[in-house]
Amino acid sequence: MLFSRDVGSEGFRSGLWGQVAVLAAAISYAGSSVFARRSFREVPLLFQAAIPLFIADALIWGAAYAFETPLVWPNIPLTWISLAFLGLLGSCVAYLLFFYLLATVGSTRTVLVTYMFPVIGLALGVLFLNEQLDSQLVFGALLVVAGIGVVNWKPKVQQREGHDKSLLGNRNVKTTQTMQK
């Protein structure tokens, strides 16, 4: 779906490399969540959230001083309020919640939240910016929602007395036979 608009009779159009970068970023994001879950189990959540923010902050400030000459500070108070709001709520609180979810529900379910951002952005664009909605966008959004549903789907398991029919095998499941003992 990602590349379908840029494939024509003449082959790929110019947007291919940007889409490849988005795909690579998504794969990197998924891999980093699994890595963080496995590697930092004993590290406090506040520390897990603070380190990426401090590193990103240092890189952004370094790039600002290197590329924005002269560096101009905003004069409007609303700009500073917006910056504080986005920094505290949009980054700090969001990172704390991300690492909390990572520790409690696992990496797979944690990253599912981010899959909804494009669907929500699409809906907001159609509602408030009068963007055009076509069948490819609807199909892509349905694929995202269906994928989230498949990951979260837990089949109902029927148990017969003495037989464990769970997907977990014999781990942590009490059957009727063991409950009677």
Q: Check residues 139 and 165 and name the one with the higher pLDDT.
A: 139
Determine contact, residues 129/172, Cβ cutoff 8 Å: no
Determine the Cα–Cα distance for residues 21 and 32; give it in Å rounded to an integer.
16
| 172 pLDDT above the threshold of 70 | no
Q: Check residues 125 and 160 and name the one with the higher pLDDT.
A: 125
* pLDDT for 30: 75
Please choose, from the candidates 123, 125, 136, 121, the residue with its C-alpha nearest in 3D space to the C-alpha of residue 2: 136
**HEC profile for 68-94?**
CCCCCCCCCHHHHHHHHHHHHHHHHHH
pLDDT tens-digit profile of 101-113?
888 888 778 888 8
* pLDDT for 33: 73
| Average confidence score pLDDT of the chain | 77
Q: What is the DSSP letter of 92?
A: I
Length of the chain: 181
Angle subtended at Cα 86 by Cα 84 and Cα 92, rounded to the nearest 5 degrees = 90
Cα–Cα separations (whole angstroms), residue 139 to 1, 81, 114, 131, 142: 8, 39, 18, 16, 5
pLDDT tens-digit profile of 36-58?
777 877 888 778 778 878 888 88
